[in-house]
Structure 1
Amino acid sequence: MKKLVFLLVVLLSVCAFAFAGGVEEKASVAGEPSGQLVIYTSYSNDLQQILIDTFRDKYPKIDVQLIEGGAGELKARVKAEAANPQGDVITGITYSDLNEMKPYLQPYIAENDAALPEDARGATTDGYLTYQVAQCVNLLVNRQLASDLGVEIKGYDDLLNPKLKGKIISANPSNSSSAWDQLVTMLVVMGGLGSEESWEYVEKFTQQLDGKISGSSSAVYKNVFNGEYVVGVTYEAPCIEYIKAGQGDKVELVYMEEGTTASFHGNGILKDCSNLENAKLFMDHLIADETQKHMEKNGTHRQANLNLPTTVDFRIPMDELNLKYRDEQYLSEHRPDIVARWEAIWAKYSK
């Protein structure tokens, strides 16, 4: 009888322990982040794979939904939905967008922010932006077409060659972030921000477009690659993708001999969004060491954490470029005026 009682006690203890373990395991699973995350994104396929797909792998219970579009289109949508936000995060925002977009964002300093270079930290924007990439601008040249035309293209001055009139493609700085960066770079390296000399160059360049402009930034590099245009004013990542894919014999990535600029592009959490905690997790994920190292090794975009060394042969280290300083505070304050002046120039020569 005593043995039977003892066995029953042992059995009950084992069952209780197993039950408690099962409850603990279920509680752990139930505690995993879940719900939704709606991202308004202008990310390329490359960035989606590196940043969003890895986030989905890390948090499989979060239903990540993407609303894709150009940077200007998505900013307009956020403004229109301000009274009832339909998204949680917007991508592709720069410091010069901050005055415009700050009323629609809420601050958050992501984990690992201190590991980034000082200029790339969210703290520089009071937490309103979390930067994930550094973007340089450049020219993309169709080698065969340039050779047939007998032109050498090494910088901005070369784009004023009369032989290139109507053979240059650019996006619209009013609604394309990469075209805005190109306009800024022209102003910086061809005379300086606020100078008439730089605007004289912009006017001459605009005449070279011969009344044609691209409706999207992606059409710029694609149409150069496809042979529709000799040269495009574009940005680094898609051009590096061509080089990485072994297409360097067809197109040449040219960093302007007058200099180039680099800007950090980031993400903001939308004010009064429905999935705030998941949005914070996404920001943490973007600048985690593992994510930034993965981007440096496998992506065509430069990671925001420029403290990481360049380990791939398809990307020139940042310190080897002729980088010029861009005054982000000035650009943020004067962006509407700069865009308005460019639009006036465009209206003059696009008739």
Structure 2
Amino acid sequence: MKMFLAPTVLAAALALAPAAGAQTLPDYYPKEYSQIVEGSKKENKLVIYSIMAEYNWRPVIEGFKKKYPWIDVQTLDLGSGEVFERFYAEKASGARTGDLMINGAVDKWLQFAGRGELLEYESPEAAKVPDWSKPRKGIYSVSADPMVIVYNKALIPEAQAPKSLADLVKMTSAAPAKYKNKITTYNAGTEAFGLAINWAYVKKNGDKAWDQFAEMAKVVRPEGSAGPMVEKITAGEYMAGYFVSAIVLYPRLNDPARARILGWSFPTDGTPIIIRGMGIPKAATNMNSAKLMLDHIISHEGQVAFGKGGLTPYRADVKDDEVPRYTFSRVAKEAGGEQNLVIVDYDQDIVAKGPEFQAKWKKVFGQN
């Protein structure tokens, strides 16, 4: 039997039903946030300059599109230096720039903010995330990703597997000829990403860190990015690497053959944690869409999504069983406690003293 609603009942039902794409915002969001949502409907494609791959982004964009189906999103996977170089070049030529920037290079972010390019946006999610994840006004963190030790289990027996940089120093200094050019790490002398990691490690460990670097320099061949490091460790060209990006390692461990070869650990004498900075340029074309994406990324839902995409969520309300790999709290636990983590913070001194640090690093590692 067919049933029909009276016109007045039908009208009431339609009024109560949510419109397509309508949003139910968290109760702690300000009322005027709806203006940002409405403003985004008048904008074009959201363009994001980042240092993450498509597979990292996929779960995040899927969730974002469910909230804001009218916003098209384009992400570009660029190098650490290229993110800002591209922005500056485009702005200088009057071309459209990226709407949202994501990068782990501390000195580049500080220079960007110092030039007055950064929008000092106050996110309604700001109170929900830790203070260290908001290093400067307008800069938020996408994730808190650990730098780990990786080794080839066929070349280094499990019983001798290094659990710290001190272990690596002890192992390689006992047989420097055996390990010469067989250990790798980021090139801090030329790469902003490597500079930030090494700067923070030295800041925590002082002269002891430089002593360790001096020993490692006898056997290290640096690389510019983590992808080649992991591939060459897998192939046996390198026996091990330190300060290797875990988010590059994790996806490869899904392959059972690689998982049998690759061993890894969180360095117990200091696991560097890269906080991937995120901010909106004042020159952004699609400012409202950029704000919506930034807020989505640091929300609980966005953090879980990036966890599923292979990054490390840092919000305290993200539980271990919500993501396939690690949360920040679990990393801290397995590293022996937060005291063993080295947060790569936004130390203003790196802008002025970074070149001097890099020159010293090059000298120690014989690159002069």
TM bin, normalised by shorter chain, reads 0.7 to 0.9
Q: 2:357 is matched with which residue? A: 341
**What pairs with 1:267-346 in structure 2 (closer than 5 Å)?**
267-296=278-307, 298-311=308-321, 314-315=325-326, 317-320=330-333, 321-322=335-336, 323=338, 324=340, 326=342, 331-346=347-362
Superposed displacement of residue 138, structure 1? 0.9
Q: 2:231 is matched with which residue? A: 222
Q: 2:32 is matched with which residue? A: none
Whether the 8 Å CA contact 2:49–2:78 is kept in 1: the answer is: yes
d(CA) in 2 for partners of 1:244 and 1:93? 25
> How big is each residue's C-alpha offset from its partner over 1:208-251, in whole Å with a ceiling of 9 and x where there is no partner?
22xx4323232222222233211122022222333454443211
Of the structure 1 ranges 132-141 and 298-307, higher mean CA displacement relative to structure 2 is found in 298-307
Counterpart of 1:319, as a letter, is: A
1:251 is the counterpart of 2:266? no
In structure 2, the residue corresponding to 1:270 is in which secondary structure?
coil
d(CA) in 2 for partners of 1:158 and 1:236? 19
What is the percent sequence identity of the aligned residues? Answer: 20
Normalised by the length of structure 2, the TM-score is 0.74
Change in CA separation of 1:327 and 1:112 when aligned onto 2, cut-off 3 Å = closer
d(CA) in 1 for partners of 2:316 and 2:251? 19
Change in CA separation of 1:345 and 1:286 when aligned onto 2, cut-off 3 Å = closer
Larger radius of gyration: 1
Q: 1:146 is matched with which residue? A: 156
1:205 is the counterpart of 2:216? yes
In structure 1, the residue corresponding to 2:271 is in which secondary structure?
coil
Change in CA separation of 1:345 and 1:180 when aligned onto 2, cut-off 3 Å = closer
Whether the 8 Å CA contact 2:184–2:238 is kept in 1: the answer is: yes
1:137 is the counterpart of 2:154? no
Normalised by the length of structure 1, the TM-score is 0.77
- State how many pairs are aligned: 322
d(CA) in 1 for partners of 2:21 and 2:232? 54
Q: 2:180 is matched with which residue? A: 165
Counterpart of 1:168, as a letter, is: I
Counterpart of 1:68, as a letter, is: D
Whether the 8 Å CA contact 2:146–2:245 is kept in 1: the answer is: yes
Q: 1:108 is matched with which residue? A: 121
1:86 aligns with one of 81, 89, 97? 97
d(CA) in 2 for partners of 1:307 and 1:94? 27
In structure 1, the residue corresponding to 2:154 is in which secondary structure?
helix
Whether the 8 Å CA contact 1:136–1:235 is kept in 2: the answer is: yes
1:43 aligns with one of 52, 63, 77? 52
Consecutive unaligned residues of structure 1, counting only runs of 5 or more, are 1-12
Whether the 8 Å CA contact 1:137–1:178 is kept in 2: the answer is: no
Superposed displacement of residue 340, structure 1? 3.3
> How big is each residue's C-alpha offset from its partner over 1:156-176, in whole Å with a ceiling of 9 and x where there is no partner?
133331132200122323564
CA RMSD of aligned residues (A): 3.5
